[in-house]
A and B are shown apart, each in its own frame.
Chain A
Amino acid sequence: MATNDYVSHAPGYVDNEGPKIVTSRFLHDDSHTLARSEATGGYSALRAVLQTPPPEAADLVKEAVLLGRGGAGFPAGIKWGFMPPVWPRYLVVNGDESEPGTYKDRLLMERDPHQLIEGCIIACYALGLNQCFLYVRGEMALAQERIAAALNEAYEASYVGKNIMGTDVSIDVVLHWGAGAYIVGEETALIESLEGNRGMPRLKPPFFPAAKGLYLKPTIVNNVETLANLPWIFANGTEAYKQYGSERSPGTRMLAVSGHVNRPGVYEVEQGVVTFRELFYGDNYCQGIRDGNELKMFIPGGGSAPWFFPEQLDLPMEAADVGAAGSMLGSGALVVMDETTDAVKACLRVVRFFARESCGKCTPCREGTTWEEQILQRILDGHGRPEDLDLLEDIGSQISPGDYPKAAHEEAGLTAVPFPPKQTTICPLGPSSVAPITSALRRFRHEFEAKIGSATPSPTESRAADETSIDVDEAAEEVSA
C-alpha cells in the first residue's frame, strides 16, 4: 500500500502521475496564500484577460469545451451564452459540495482559494458583471476561513474590488456560506438560499437561472472546480487544454474514490480516457480492492448515480458512455463496495440520505423518499413483507416513472437503460432515491428476500397468492350479485 503519496496538509489528496491543471499548488503547504499564488503564476492570466474584450474571453471558454464539474457536465461556455442581454446579472459559485462520496471542491477551496478567485474574476469579466457570490457549504469552516483570508488579500492587492489591477474594471466577490442542506447544491435552490429563503428548487422552465436567477435576474451558477480551471486555460490556451482528456471531455477532473479500495483518495485524472478498472486497480490510482477482495458494485458518480457492477469496469470514464450504460459520472465521486457489503444496508443508507435531505416541496419526493426509507428499515429490522419489494418498485416508479436507468448485467439478465430518469418532481433529488433501490433490488433481490425471511413465499409465489386472493374476492362479489 503506497500511502506515502498522501499530501499531509491536503488530506485525501493523492499526488499521482498526470497533468496538474487545478491541483498544481497542492504540494505546497502554503498553497492558500497570495504569496505562493503569485510566485507560481497566480493572477497572471487575469492580467492578460483584462486586456481583451469580454466577449472574446467568453468565446475562449466555449472553445475550450470546459464541461461543468458540478454533476451535469454541461459545457460552461454554452451555459454562459444563454444569458439574455439584461443587467444586472450575477455569477454565483456553487461551493455547496455535499453529494455523498464527493469531495474535491472542498480541497480546491481550502488549498488554492486564489485560483478560484482568479477564475471568478475572469468569469465575471467575460460575462460583463460586477458582483459574484461565492457560496461555500456551511460545514466547511476551513474553506470559509481560507477564502475569507484570500479575498482579504486579493482585495488588498487589487485583484478584486474597485479598479482591478489599476484598470477601470470593478468586481466584487462576496463570500457567502450555507447552513446545512444538501438540496442547496441544486442551482435554483442555491439561488433561493442566497436570497435568504428556504433552499427549495424552482421549476425550470420558467426559472432557468441564466435568464431568471438571483432576484429573477440573469445568473450563472458555476461549480468551484469549473471556475478553478479558468486560470490555467487562460494562461495556457485552449489547445494546450485540449491535449488532455478526450475529444468530448477535454482536460482533467478531480475524482474522489472512497470505500473499499487500497488507496482511497482524491485524484486529478484526465477526463474520458481512464477506465474504471484502471482507476480502481491501477498503480497510479487506487491500487486495488482492500484485502484482495472481489468488487461487488460501485457508485460511479455520487450517491445519486445508479450503481455499476464488475461488468462496467472497462468503460472509460466518459460521460456519454457512462450515461448510455445506465448511470452517470456526476460529481466525480466513486464509492467502491467489495463482496462483504450488505446490499440492503448500503441501499437503505443511500435512500435514507435522500429522505433526510428532501426539501419537502414536491409531494412524491417528500412522501415517497420517507416511505422508501421506512420500508427498507423495516426489511433490515426483520419485519419485511414479501409485497414490500414490489411496493418499493412501485413507489420508485411514482417518483420516477418508466424504466429506471440501470446497468447491464448478464448474469441477472439485465440490459442497460440509459441515464437520466424521468421524474414527477421538480428536481432530481426524489428520483435519485430510486437509484439505489433499483440498482440493489434488480441485481441483489435475493438479499432482500433473505432478510424478509425464508418462511415468506418467493416473489413469484407471493404474486400468485395475491392473484388468487383477488379471484376469491371477485368470486365473492359475483356470488353476492
Chain B
Amino acid sequence: MSRLTTANVLLAREIISRYPRPKSALIPLLHLAQEQDGYVADDAMEHIAELIGVTAAEVLGTCSFYEMFKRHPVGRYMINICTNISCQLNGGEELLHHAEETLGIRSGGTTDDGMFTLEDVECIAACTEAPCLQVNYRYEYRLDNDDFDRMVDDLRAGNRADVPPHGTLARVRQNIDEDRLAGVERPELAGAPAWYSSRLPSDDGDGGGN
C-alpha cells in the first residue's frame, strides 16, 4: 500500500539510532510498517530498504522468513489457534475445525468482511492452558467452542478494546531520553567502556580494550 508516514519515518530513525548497525533495526521497522498498514506492503519494504541502506531484496529476504509478517492484506483480527502437541492433546485441532466452520474459512483464509484471518500456528507458550489461541497476539485460554463463538461475537461487536487491530503489537514503546542514553557506537569503532577499564584491579589492568 504505502511508504512509511512522516511520523513513522521519525520513529524509524529513532529505532535505527539504537543499534550499532542500521540493518539490525529491520525487524522492528517491518513491524512498524505492519502496524501502519495492517500488513507489510512492497512500498514499505522499499522505503525501509532506503532507510537502512540495503536493497529491497534483502528486506524481502528477511521479511519472508518470519511468519508474523503478512505481505498481503489480512483480516482486522488474526486468530492464531495453537495445534502443537500440548494443545493437540487437549482439543486444539477440534477447536481449529470449529473455528473453520464458524468463520466459514479454512486455515490461512480471511473472512469476506475482512474481519478475521484464521491460522493454525505452532506453540505459543501457553501449553498449560490448552487449547489456546491468540487474537492479534493477545491470549485466550482453555477455550471450548462456546468460548470461541463468544469471542468472535465480541470482536465483531467491537467489544474488545483490549485487542488492537492487526499490526499493532506492543502498545507501549521503549523510549530513551537522549540524555539518559549510554550511547551507541559502530562496532568497528567501539572499545571497552571507560568505567570497566577503570574498575579492573590494577594488577589486571591490561584487559581494558583494544
Interface residues of B in 109-123 (CB under 8 A from A): 122-123
Query: Cβ of B129: which chain A residues have Cβ within 8 Å of it?
Result: 11-12, 264
Q: Whose C-beta in chain A lies nearest to the C-beta of B164?
A: A141
Q: B130–A179 contact, CB under 8 A?
A: no
Interface residues of A in 99-147 (CB under 8 A from B): 99-103, 105-106, 128-131, 137-142, 144-147
A345 nearest CB across to chain B (Å): 8
A140 and B138 CA atoms in complex are apart in Å by 8
Q: A181–B125 contact, CB under 8 A?
A: no
A137 and B139 CA atoms in complex are apart in Å by 14
Interface residues of A in 356-398 (CB under 8 A from B): 356-357, 359
Q: A177–B28 contact, CB under 8 A?
A: yes
Whether B52 sits at the interface, judged by CB under 8 Å, is yes
A157 and B54 CA atoms in complex are apart in Å by 37
Which listed residue (B21, B61, B65, B201) contacts A195, Cβ 8 A?
A: B21
Which listed residue (B85, B136, B176, B180) contacts A335, Cβ 8 A?
A: B85
Complex interface: stretch among A62-70, A196-204, A237-245, A469-477: A196-204
- If the complex has contacts A172-B176, A196-B25, A265-B128, are A128 and B90 also in contact, measured as CB distance less than 8 A? no
A205 and B88 CA atoms in complex are apart in Å by 38
Whether A451 sits at the interface, judged by CB under 8 Å, is no
Query: Cβ of A257: which chain B residues have Cβ within 8 Å of it?
Result: 128
Q: Mark B50-87, 1 if CB is under 8 A from A, else 0.
A: 00101000000110011111000000000010011110
A175 and B173 CA atoms in complex are apart in Å by 9
A147 and B171 CA atoms in complex are apart in Å by 11
Count A-B pairs with CB separation below 8 Å.
244
Residue in A196, A257, A353, A359 whose Cβ sees the most chain B Cβ within 10 Å? A196
Q: B172–A149 contact, CB under 8 A?
A: yes
Complex interface: stretch among B1-9, B153-161, B188-196: B188-196
Q: Mark A192-234, 1 if CB is under 8 A from B, else 0.
A: 0111111100000000000000111100000000000000000
Q: Whose C-beta in chain B lies nearest to the C-beta of A107?
A: B125
A158 and B177 CA atoms in complex are apart in Å by 11
Q: A145–B172 contact, CB under 8 A?
A: yes
Q: B69–A172 contact, CB under 8 A?
A: no
Whether B30 sits at the interface, judged by CB under 8 Å, is yes
Residue in B61, B89, B125 whose Cβ sees the most chain A Cβ within 10 Å? B125
Whether B145 sits at the interface, judged by CB under 8 Å, is no
Query: Cβ of A178: which chain B residues have Cβ within 8 Å of it?
Result: 27, 66
Residue in B18, B30, B84, B184 whose Cβ sees the most chain A Cβ within 10 Å? B84
Which listed residue (B19, B137, B196) contacts A128, Cβ 8 A?
A: B196
Whether A86 sits at the interface, judged by CB under 8 Å, is yes
Q: Whose C-beta in chain B lies nearest to the C-beta of A357?
A: B122
Chain B residues within 8 Å of chain A by Cβ, number = 76
Complex interface: stretch among A72-80, A160-168, A315-323: A160-168
Q: B201–A88 contact, CB under 8 A?
A: no
Query: Cβ of B23: which chain A residues have Cβ within 8 Å of it?
Result: 195-197
Whether B24 sits at the interface, judged by CB under 8 Å, is yes
Whether A292 sits at the interface, judged by CB under 8 Å, is no
Query: Cβ of B101: which chain A residues have Cβ within 8 Å of it?
Result: none
Q: B89–A148 contact, CB under 8 A?
A: no
B85 nearest CB across to chain A (Å): 5
Which listed residue (B125, B126, B181) contacts A161, Cβ 8 A?
A: B181
- If the complex has contacts A128-B196, A130-B193, A346-B88, are A195 and B169 also in contact, measured as CB distance less than 8 A? no
Q: B27–A193 contact, CB under 8 A?
A: yes
A176 and B193 CA atoms in complex are apart in Å by 22
Q: B174–A151 contact, CB under 8 A?
A: yes
Whether B200 sits at the interface, judged by CB under 8 Å, is yes
- If the complex has contacts A88-B187, A152-B175, A196-B25, are A333 and B127 also in contact, measured as CB distance less than 8 A? yes
Q: A87-B193, A193-B27 are in contact. List 16 more A-B contacts (CB 8 A).
A: A11-B126, A53-B200, A97-B125, A98-B123, A101-B85, A101-B127, A130-B183, A138-B66, A138-B169, A139-B134, A141-B169, A179-B66, A199-B65, A299-B85, A349-B83, A349-B84
Q: Can you report 29 residue pairs joining A to B where beta carbons are below 8 Å apart?
A: A12-B129, A85-B207, A97-B125, A101-B127, A131-B20, A138-B27, A138-B31, A139-B124, A139-B137, A145-B171, A148-B174, A151-B174, A158-B180, A162-B182, A167-B195, A168-B198, A170-B182, A172-B181, A174-B18, A195-B21, A195-B23, A198-B65, A258-B89, A258-B127, A260-B89, A299-B85, A335-B85, A345-B88, A357-B122
The 10 residue pairs across chains A and B that have the minimum distance between CB atoms: A196-B26, A179-B66, A103-B125, A196-B23, A170-B182, A128-B196, A258-B127, A88-B190, A180-B68, A144-B170
